[in-house]
Structure 1
Amino acid sequence: MPEAAVSDVDLAVIGSGGGAFAAAIRATNLGKRVVMVERSTVGGTCVNTGCIPSKALLAAAEARHMALEATGRFPGISTSAGPVDMWELINGKRSLVETMRSDKYVDLVADYGWELRQGTAVFAGTPGEPVLEITGPDGSSSEVRAAHYLVATGSTPWAPPVKGLQDMDYLTSTTAMELEEVPESLLVFGGGYVALEQAQLFARLGSKVTMLVRSRLASAEEPEASRALMGNFADEGIRVVRRSSVLSVRTDPDTAEVVVSATVAGGQEEFRAAKLLVATGRRSVTEGLNLDAVGVKTGDRGEILVQNTLVSSNPRIWAAGDVTGHREFVYVAAAHGTLAVENAFNHAGREVDYRHLPRVTFTSPALAAVGMTDKEARDAGIRCECRVLPLEYVPRALVNRDTRGFIKIVADSATGRIVGITAVARDGGDLAAAGVYILQAGMTVDQVANLWSPYLTMAEGIKIAAQSFKTDVSRLSCCAS
């Protein structure tokens, strides 16, 4: 076998998603030589199997849902919607993904001029002198020696150890978006953001959906959010079974249905559906990287353990994005990639700060939040004061004829400083974005209550929620608040 070719570079990146590209772009702009290694499809989770395809399908499902519900909601409007041509819908999604992968990922490699190698990377050498061994799809081998390495290999759907599940052809968030027919019925394991989005997506496309949830929907967020989502899902025919623990899964040989046995409220119940979607979380992709050989420590879920500067236990090896086990948002991964490069080459000493990180679940209406929940504030020793504003007091929601949801503000009662904002509302993500600026500026309830805010926007709801701390907002004029 011929001796492997050896390359010496400044930065070697494993992976090609948002974190990897952000790092490569920043390093290239600093004049560094970069090699990126990708074993599969360029672009990572977000563009290929995550944000882009899921939100494209959610938008399509919402358009169909709006057509079905507009009659009666808006006087004088009569609409209808026929069955979904799932093959056409999925084909359109694939076309969008291919275009964005080309425009926002593949083409940028040539634009910036770093080297992209297709192949599987494995660490070798020693902790003091790590190298990457790369095996190409044709079996060829090469080595890369770098001043610094960045692992940005992302995460993959994880399934719990349920009896019979390993023998099932169950769906994940990835494979569900490749179905070419709408399943007549669907069972969903999980109550987090992926489960919520996928459940509503398929319900709106025509599936009869049942969710089996261990605690409550969106359990990490405000309890008001869970209650609002429960109500909204019930209105759309989605059954949510709370405090359920799945015992076993099997296939009925006569009907080919999925049969799930679960404990519910102290008893045992059986659930049936045409398809099963498991959305119970994700795990970092580190298996096979041989991290132990180069002194990189990992956690119980395979995640690379990093300091707040994103350096691993090896000072020359960094990590970014889902592989760290940190918040699974593409904008976190991108921020990680840039920060790691700044710290590696400019010795910036910057640390990741999640205090004002926005988080959005793209249900309709959306669940969006920034900062602390009520409980998190109290656990942090903050004596807090909260207000929950129903959307019936937000003029934009009244005009939309959609008052499902609320806006909640959590404030430090001693200073009035806002420490958290949560909303279940249409355009909730935009409310969370506005909340980032409010929290970053350290603004108080009084300051927000007296700011300019354009009338007939959802963002005006944040101002009205702030006003509710001292004012009976039911007695405000809608146009002169």
Structure 2
Amino acid sequence: MKDAKKQSFDAIIIGSGQAGNPLAFALAGQNLKVALIEKGRFGGTCVNTGCTPTKAYVASARRAWELKNASDLGIPNPKLEKIDLRKVKERKDKIVAGSHDGLVDSLRKEKLITTFQAKGFFLDQTTVQAGSAILTVPKIFINVGTRPRIPEGFENVNFLTNESLLELEEIPYHLLIVGGSYIGLEFAQIFRRLGSKVTIIEMSDRLISKEDPSISERIREILESEGIKVLCNSHCLEGKNNPDGGVRVLMNCGGEQKQASGSHLLLATGRQSNMDLVNPESAGLAIDKKGFVEVNDHLETNVKGIYALGDCNGKGAFTHTSYHDFEILQNQLFGDKSKKVSDRILNYALYTDPPLGRVGMTLSQAKNSGKEILYAEMEMSQINRAREKGETKGKMEVIVDSKTEQILGAAVLGVGGDEIIGLFITAIYGKLSYKTLMNSVQTHPTVSELIPTLLQQLKPIKANS
């Protein structure tokens, strides 16, 4: 390998994710010679095993739920045959293939981008090996993402991850899910609606513990109303294969030894950085205690000329934050250098049904911020549009800084929450007074038209002592 001829490029990108791909085209657009390295499928997690396929499953599950509950809206229930997971998977695969194949075709057409289907790793600060090729460059961009974290006690049990679960062709009879956070909850509802029995096993005292308790409780109520079993405070977890097939999870629930048995097991216990796969020590890269590569506000690592984008830098865990990383680097390399990570306002959605849209601070965070805050909430059951749709579960809430009048945070758990949250995101980025939104005239009949009414109900709330 030492005798391999080095190939020179202007830039190397390790990882073909939602930040790496647009960066490759942007660099090529500046007449730079680019090497794009990908050990898996081009497109990264979002296209192949994340957002695109899972939201396709969410849509299929939603359609099944609508058919099952049609009588609630005065429509006689049609006979719902047993769902064919192969058909659901075929639809998903077709959508994924369209995105993947379109990207690959675009990469092939760009003469200044050379792709390497191989594992890429550092040999030194300017040299990367990709398969048998040795590449040398002045600038290197890391976009290697994350992978499912497998907790201790489950190494020798038959388990599924968010990736392998999407490849099943038969609906699990009873799906056990270890992990009651975003990925686990979405899959719990998907497979319950497709026909599985589902049990969620969570170590914390509540689901999605990063959210405020009131939101966590609402989401648990929604899931349990659909027949999903939830076991919180489940500690000392260990997985075992059953002799006659299936799996079981042993747990210590409040000092009492318990177990749950199922046909399949999904591990949804978070994700870990893929930085350990690229030999970061050879480049002298600083890695934090969680395994993420450390970057500054402009996404440069501690080594000049090496940058990190997307989930592997620990600055975000979403497609939209990854793409914003690309925009930051594009601005730093070819623009006015004004964009930076610290300007980004956290926002995301949980794609249960109804979905949760979230931006900025939670109520707990606001209480601990030392700011004087105003707070209001409104039940979805108070909103005509939600009643008309027959989907009244959830609530809206908003937090305001009483001195600046700017919105600090908001949550919309309810029908359309993933889209409606965009109004609050825009208001926060625009540094608008909440009164501007409160005095706006929104379209009737919508859920959004009640946002001005929500803001009219703001009241002071005491900070935590």
Give the TM-score, by structure 1 length.
Answer: 0.91
Compute the displacement of 1:385 (Å). 1.9
**120 and 355 in structure 1: CA distance in 2 versus 1, 3 angstrom threshold:** closer
1:60 has 2:84 as partner: no
Question: Could you list the per-position Cα deviations for residues 286-315 of structure 1 after superposition, in whole angstroms to 9, with x for gaps in the alignment?
Answer: 223221111111122321111121111101
Mean alpha-carbon deviation: is it higher for 106-115 or for 419-428? 106-115
Distance 1:442 1:9, change over 3 A: same
Report the CA distance shift for 1:78/1:134 in structure 2 as closer, same or farther (over 3 A): closer
Contact 1:311 1:340 in 2 (8 A): no
Counterpart residue number, 1:22? 22
2:214 is the alignment partner of 1:230: no
The one of 326, 330, 341 equivalent to 1:352 is 341
Secondary structure of 2:249's partner? strand
Q: Deviations over 1:104-163 (max 9, x none)?
A: x212213443221222222113x4xx211221xxxxx2222222100101110002112x
Matched residue, 2:238? 248
Deviations 1:241-260 (A, max 9, x none): 1221143221221x323121
Q: Which moved more, 1:413-422 or 1:304-313?
A: 413-422
Counterpart among 122, 127, 133 of residue 131 in structure 1: 127
1:164-189 alpha-carbon deviations (Å, 9 max, x no partner): x1111101111111111111101111
Which residue of structure 2 aligns with residue 477 of structure 1? Answer: none
Aligned pair partner of 2:152 in 158, 161, 166? 161
Counterpart mapping for 1:389-468 below 5 A: 389-468=378-457
Q: How many residue pairs are counted as aligned between the two chains?
A: 457
Give the alignment of 1:73-92 within 5 angstroms. Answer: 73-92=72-91
Whether the aligned pair in 2 keeps the contact of 1:371 and 1:420 (CA below 8 Å) is yes
Change in 2 beyond 3 A, CA 1:2/1:373: closer
- Structure 1 residue 352, shift from structure 2 partner: 0.7
1:148 maps onto 2:148 in alignment: no
Query: Does residue 116 of structure 1 match 2:115?
Result: yes
CA distance in 1 between counterparts of 2:446 and 2:108 reads: 42
What secondary structure sits across from 2:86 in the alignment? helix
- The answer to whether the 8 Å contact 1:150/1:319 transfers is yes
Alpha-carbon separation, structure 2, partners of 1:458 and 1:246: 43
Instruction: Report runs of 4+ in structure 1 exceeding 4 Å deviation.
Output: 344-347
Where do residues 159-308 of structure 1 align in structure 2 (5 Å cutoff)?
159-162=150-153, 165-215=154-204, 216-253=206-243, 255-308=244-297
Q: What percent of counterpart residues are identical?
A: 27
* 1:366-406 deviation per Cα after TM superposition (whole angstroms, max 9, x unaligned): 01101111111222221212111001222210110111000
Q: 1:270 to 1:288 in 2, by over 3 A?
A: closer
Q: How far 1:338 moved relative to its partner?
A: 3.0
Question: Under a length normalisation based on structure 2, what TM-score does the superposition of the two structures give?
Answer: 0.94
Q: Is the 8 A contact 1:407 1:461 kept in 2?
A: no
Distance 1:89 1:285 in 2: 30
Give the CA RMSD over aligned residues.
1.8
Ranges in structure 1 where 5+ consecutive residues have no aligned partner: 136-140, 471-481
CA separation of 1:48 and 1:145: change in aligned 2, threshold 3 A = same
Deviation for aligned residue 1:459: 1.9
The SS at the match of 1:386 is strand
Alignment match, 2:462: none
The farther-off stretch of 402-411 and 221-230 is 221-230
